[in-house]
Structure 1
Amino acid sequence: MARNYAGTSDYFGDDCLKRQYVLETLKKVFSLFGFEPLETPIIELKETLLGKTGGETNAQVFNWRQGNPETGEDIGLRFDQTVPLARVMAQYAKTLEPKMPYKRYTIGPVFRAEKPQAGRLRQFTQMDIDTVGTKSVLADAEVIALCIYALEKLGFSDFTIELNNRKILNGLAASIGLVGKEAISLMRGWDKLGKKSTQEIEEEFEETLGKEKAKKAILLTEKLIAIDGSSEIALNSVLKVSKETEGGVLETKSILNTLATLGIDPEKIKFNVLLARGLDYYTGPVFEMKVLEGGAGSLGGGGRFDNLIEALGGPSIPATGVSFGLERMTYVLDKLNLFPTELEKTKAFVTVFEPKSESSVAYAAKITSLLRKKKINTEMYTGCEKVGAQLAIANRKGIKYAIIAGPDEEKKGTVTIKNLSVGLSSGEKKDKEANQIEVPLAELKDNLSSI
């Protein structure tokens, strides 16, 4: 039996138009902020994909196989857009050096070898922007400003950007004796707050840290959860924990100040001391976009990754960026009814009064050509059904206008425009002209939206 692979999706008609709307809107925003496009293969070498983002992520890489029998090179499917960027910067360092800071956006499918469930697919589309080649907090602030502009452009109003810094997280972990892999385990637990129960996270701490260290982790977590107040108060509460947390706090305050100079509403930014983001390669600021209306939650996030490119064999190049998930973004926009009522769908359906008549087909083709020249999205019927069946097809497709031209209209050089979106009362149904109008062919375009 024909079926798609579990964890992948097929998209039709309106769903595709909604996805395209999100893509086109974000492309315009990316370009507005000076980012240029970059396309990379979905296939990467195994050595590129593994060992750069941590054990949990490595387990999600789709099974690789030998891509070149002669060299024995193993390959796999990319699981995000950041690792391919790092590979590009390592591979083309000399070519891209004159363009530093290099600002790029990329859009395309990524793959995760994990059990599919609600909100988690094995193939999905990521839309990323990154600035490479600068450590300035201005770059971090600009990425956050772009996110706010993009969300507003898509129609969101009730949202916040949660902000933290990996240096703060490292300092907090070190304050209870956790460094290296143990610190990462602590952060991964924090990253799951709100997604898993407190008991599940505590059990995870015991499993990864041992009972004694888990107790310290739980006490620290409870203390941090209790922090309340403005971003300034929350930042000052962790300022003196260590030199490392102090550095992270100062960076975060600098980003907040820069965002203010960029005209960003401070109410849109919230410091969250427990925000960790799951990937191990973050080195500085991290942030997440959260939509509050309708309980929509996270729409994606990003941060700074200054060591990843060097880890891939390239020069030491700092970078910062963000990732948007197309499926998640489309789902939330749909749930909140934020899509425009008129997307770029087919607007007119030209019927063929007598499909076996050369004259009838020719007149329908003439009408179709005229509409397309006027840049009106038009479908011409190409089957053999009678006009009534053709109208039913147009209605099922959700096309607003049907164009009908029988022998009488053909002789007069006119057409009948029927508005399929207008419902009729029982009395009006007896009146065939209640939702249609006959107009000269030359006036067809001007009358489409008037009936």
Structure 2
Amino acid sequence: MSAESAKEFEALEAQARALLDLFARAGYEPVAPSIIQPAEMFLDRIGESIRSRTYVFTDLAGDELCLRPDLTVPVSRLYLERHPRADVEARYCYNGPAFRFQPQGRSPTRPREFRQAGIECFGVADRDKADAEIVRLAVEGVRSGGLKAFRLRFGDIALFYALLDALQLPERWRVKLRHYFWRPSAFHELLSRLARGERPDSDGPIAALAEKIGKETPERAEELVADYLDVQSLPLAGNRTLSEITERLRDHAADLRSAPLPKEVATVIDYYLAVSGPPKEAAERVAMIAHGAGIDMSASLGALVRRFDRLQASGIDLAPAIFATEFGRDLEYYSGLVFQIESLGNGAEPIAGGGRYDGLLEALGAPRAVPAVGTALHTERLLAAVERAS
């Protein structure tokens, strides 16, 4: 190890000790979940963005495993191992490595193996209180690491879902838009196409295959897809199973048969996703859009404003903060509040992030939905931001 690497390692270790001490004083128990995790558990729940960057392998027993790309899912699994009925409040903190492929090439602030220091809060019924606690501790963690100048960015997944629920649109497109929300470019392409009334990729061999298997049973459809891949000498790729590929083609076939999305509905969604600004002003703009569209979003907007009031009461300065309706498209297990702490200046980038994920534990095997919220700090980025500012 070079002298420079040794110095950075020592700095990261000191930072980790300070963060874990901060979290422990706030009542969070230190835990160390396994680095190797069941691949299916992750790939089904983290979303396309992280899924394609996850290191997946098969061990000698034939089990498909992965190196954890984040720590929220492993800590959630640990909570369920300790509390299978998911009926106990628990607060955990951690500091450890996560692993992601970096498609733009690795760098000092985006290595393939990186550290996350974070906290996860389970089972607290007062969601506003828990949300404020997590954001406050994330801010305190960044400050304890030595970063003084930063900005908070907020989003709210539940608010977007409330918009879709309030709009008059075919249920198929409501489900589809929820699914595509996590991929901004694909979402806008889908929304534009639906508004124009265009059929999705209705020509070519893939569309023909989709239309053919759309009339078959799932079992027969999978056989036909396997035959097609074999004839075309196409290997399975991108961590996709044969059943997943078949299901996507069947979904495509259903798209071909569906009615277009009303243009005025697409316009309202476009207006909504363009909202970005100071939190209270952004909430007012969303209220104006809802009023203009003749829909009622008062309950969701009221919850949003109450959350910001709670954050201010807990000492969070929202004056420089941003609320953006498009923000939060990364990890698909989020279900409500999402936030990010960003460094300022030319090297601005996310230092910490987190949010609410009330549906994740039920998806992992809990008998019911469990209130859950957490945050993780990217410690290499925090250290680099502090060094740039000094």
Same fold judged by TM-score > 0.5?
Answer: yes
Q: What amino acid sits opposite 1:286 in the alignment?
A: V
Alignment CA distance shift 1:33-1:245 (3 Å) = farther
Show the counterpart of 1:55: 48
Residue 282 (structure 2) pairs with residue 234 (structure 1): yes
Secondary structure at 1:110's aligned position in 2? strand
**Structure-2 change in CA distance of 1:323 and 1:212 (3 Å):** same
CA contact (8 A) 2:278 2:321 kept: no
Residue 132 of structure 2 is aligned to residue 141 of structure 1: yes
Q: Distance in 2 between matches of 1:58 and 1:226?
A: 27
Q: Is the 8 A contact 1:130 1:321 kept in 2?
A: yes
Q: Distance in 2 between matches of 1:182 and 1:75?
A: 30
Using the alignment, how far apart are the partners of 1:55 and 1:12 within structure 2?
A: 33
Count of residues in Structure 1 that have an aligned counterpart in Structure 2: 312
Q: Does 1:254 align with 2:306?
A: yes
Q: Work out which of the residue numbers 160, 174, 177 in structure 2 matches 1:179.
A: 174
Instruction: Tell me the CA shift for residue 220 of structure 1.
Output: 5.6
In 1: Cα distance, 2:46 partner to 2:325 partner: 22
Of residues 82, 85, 88, the one that matches 2:75 is 85
Matched, 1:18 2:11: yes
Once residues 12 and 115 of structure 2 are traced to their aligned partners in structure 1, the CA distance between those partners, rounded to angstroms, is 10
**C-alpha deviation, 1:27, in angstroms:** 1.6
Cα 1:50–1:297 shift into 2, 3 Å: closer
Q: Larger RCO: Structure 1 or Structure 2 (Cα < 8 Å, ≥ 6 residues apart)? A: 2
Q: Shift of residue 228 of structure 1?
A: 6.3
| Structure 2 residue 193 is the aligned partner of structure 1 residue 211 | yes
User: Does the 8 Å CA contact 1:101/1:132 hold for their aligned counterparts?
Assistant: yes
- Write the distance in 2 (CA, Å) between the matches of 1:256 and 1:47: 36
CA 1:299–1:229: 2 relative to 1, 3 Å: closer
Query: What is the CA-CA distance between 1:213 and the residue it aligns to?
Result: 4.1
8 Å Cα contact 1:45-1:76 kept in structure 2 = yes
Structure 2 gap ranges (5+)? 198-262
Per the alignment, residue 125 of structure 1 pairs with: 115
Equivalent pair of 1:164/1:275 in contact (CA under 8 Å): yes
Compared with structure 1, are the counterparts of its residues 181 and 300 closer, same or farther at alpha carbon in structure 2 (3 Å cutoff)? farther
Residue from 23, 46, 66 that aligns with 1:30? 23
Instruction: Quote the Cα distance in structure 1 between the aligned partners of 2:89 and 2:121.
Output: 6
CA RMSD of the aligned region, Å? 3.2
Q: Scaled by the length of structure 2, what TM-score is found?
A: 0.70
Match of 1:170 in 2: 161
Shift of 1:13: 2.0
Structure 1 unmatched ranges of 5 or more: 190-200, 338-451
Structure 1 residues 299 and 10: CA distance shift in structure 2, 3 A: farther
After superposition, the C-alpha distances for 1:277-304 in whole angstroms (9 at most, x for unaligned) are 4111111111111222444232121100
Deviation digits for residues 337-371 of structure 1 (CA, Å, limit 9, x no counterpart): 2xxxxxxxxxxxxxxxxxxxxxxxxxxxxxxxxxx
TM-score, with structure 1 as normaliser: 0.61
Q: CA deviation at 1:311?
A: 0.5
> Cα deviations across residues 224-273 of structure 1 (Å, max 9, x unaligned)?
57646642221022137387854432222222222232233332543222
CA 1:239–1:120: 2 relative to 1, 3 Å: same
Contact 1:294 1:336 in 2 (8 A): no
Aligned partner of 1:354 in structure 2 is: none
Residue 333, structure 1, aligned to residue 386, structure 2: yes
Compare 169-178 and 40-49 and name the one that shifted more: 169-178
1:10–1:318 Cα change, 3 Å: farther
Task: Give 1 or 2: higher helix fraction.
Answer: 2
* Structure 1 letter corresponding to 2:148: S
For the Cα contact (< 8 Å) 1:206–1:214, is it kept in 2? no
Judge conservation of contact 1:165–1:249 (CA < 8 Å) in 2.
Answer: no
**Which secondary structure does the structure 1 equivalent of 2:280 belong to?**
helix
Name the CA distance, whole Å, in 1 between partners of 2:81 and 2:325: 36
Q: CA deviation at 1:114?
A: 4.5
CA 1:230–1:53: 2 relative to 1, 3 Å = closer
1:313 aligns with 2:308: no
Q: Which residue of 2 aligns with 1:266?
A: 318
Match of 2:337 among 272, 280, 285: 285
